Amino acid sequence: MPNNLNRRSFLRASAALGAVALTGRALAADVTASASAQVQLKGPDPKPVITGPAQKVFPRWKGFNFTYFFNQWSDRSPLEDDFRWMCDWGFDFIRLP
């Protein structure tokens, strides 16, 4: 690794690497789409068949990260209204990181 690496050259190299990665991914997706389109056209009915629910099921437990206790610059403690709002929003538990 060169010793003269600065922020500008790092950002330039990162942007170039990201562009190459996205281009490669887009080309791979295009090849996959064309291959799957050929398979679908061979069938008797080219319409897609939807099986199962269209929306994913949400997880059973929904938590809330509570960082008041561990934040060095926090000058306030949690209020009872905070817990009431979290309950109203549908959160089931509070996580203390």
Residue-wise pLDDT tens digits, 37-48:
444 445 555 566
pTM over 0.85: no
In angstroms, rounded to a whole number, what is the distance separating the alpha carbons of residues 12 and 40?
A: 42
Assess whether pLDDT exceeds 60 at residue 35.
no
Residue-wise pLDDT tens digits, 54-83:
566 666 777 777 777 677 777 777 778 888
Supply the pLDDT for residue 40. 46
Supply the pLDDT for residue 59. 64
Instruction: Return the beta strands (E) in 8-86 as ranges.
Output: 63-65
Supply the pLDDT for residue 82. 81
In angstroms, rounded to a whole number, what is the distance separating the alpha carbons of residues 86 and 74?
A: 19
Residues 6+ apart with CB under 8 A from 64: 86, 91, 93, 94, 95
